[in-house]
Amino acid sequence: FIKKKQIFFIVLDLSNPKFLKKKIFLEIVKILSNLKIPLIIFDDFSKQIYKNLKFFSKFIIVCPYIYDNKFIKNKRKKYPNLFVGTKYAVLQKNEKFKKKNLKLKKVLISCGGTDFKKLTLKLIQILKKNSYLKICVIIGPHFDKREKSKILSLENKNIKIMSNVDNICKVAKNYDLGIITSGLTKYELLSIRMRFAVISENKEFFRFHYPFSRKKLCYDLGYFKNFKLLEAKINNLIYNFKNFDQLVKFKSIDTNGSDRLIKIAQRKFI
């Protein structure tokens, strides 16, 4: 297929740990290595990246996240073809969020594709105690089946459930606040200037999220320790929502990352 279609370069996302363990990944690596096709590789500086890169001869690495400057400086010494930061994030173009009055009436919950900490159900249980709130819940494609069933059973006039949403920004613009986990969704919501809070799944995820948090680009809920503490943090967020715009620095990021990467690929590979 690659030869027939005369593919110029290929984009790989190497940051998915499940995919990296599959046999098909090794087959793909072997094919691309033999063909010497230039690659744009998306990763997040996981330990696995060092093992993966040795297979390829022509590549640029893209880490479209916010990191500490010292960390990036050290990585650039090792990877001259490294491009880091939100300017290289591949995001869909969406209308900016129109700021409404600071009255919390509608909340969006999104805990990624797997929600391995089962935070969605916990957030619903906390938020639904506020009977005036309208809640929308997005279920990812790889949720645990039993957890998914529990979530679906809670749907009512105040709780709306959505599955496998292609563009979260189109949904988010109808809500006053998003509560999300610490993945790529925060960059999507940042691109439309949405009000959102981030809960990290564990201490390791929070460490990765910390440079983003330190810039005060979101309301930060720290990392999950136990239900009682999460409930206290959510209640505090609800109570202080009227001050949200003073607690968070609204910074928009553009959606021209894909255009930049194509130009870089053309410059590097032609």
Extract the tokens encoding 128.
């639904």
Locus of tokens 């990944």:
25
How many residues does the structure list for the chain?
Answer: 270
What pLDDT, in 10s, does the model give residues 215-261? Answer: 999 999 999 999 999 999 999 999 999 999 998 987 778 899 999 99
User: What type of residue sits at position 256?
Assistant: N
- Average pLDDT of the chain, as a whole number: 89
Extract the tokens encoding 253.
């990021």
Rounded Cα distance between 56 and 74, Å, is 22
Rounded Cα distance between 117 and 59, Å, is 34
Locus of tokens 């890169």:
53
Say yes or no to pLDDT of 46 above 70. no
Name the nearest CA neighbour of 171 among 144, 202, 138. 138
Rounded Cα distance between 156 and 161, Å, is 9
Locus of tokens 């990624």:
112
At residue 257's C-alpha, the angle toward residues 200 and 207, to 5°, is 20
What pLDDT, in 10s, does the model give residues 88-134? Answer: 999 988 888 776 678 999 999 999 999 999 999 999 999 999 999 99
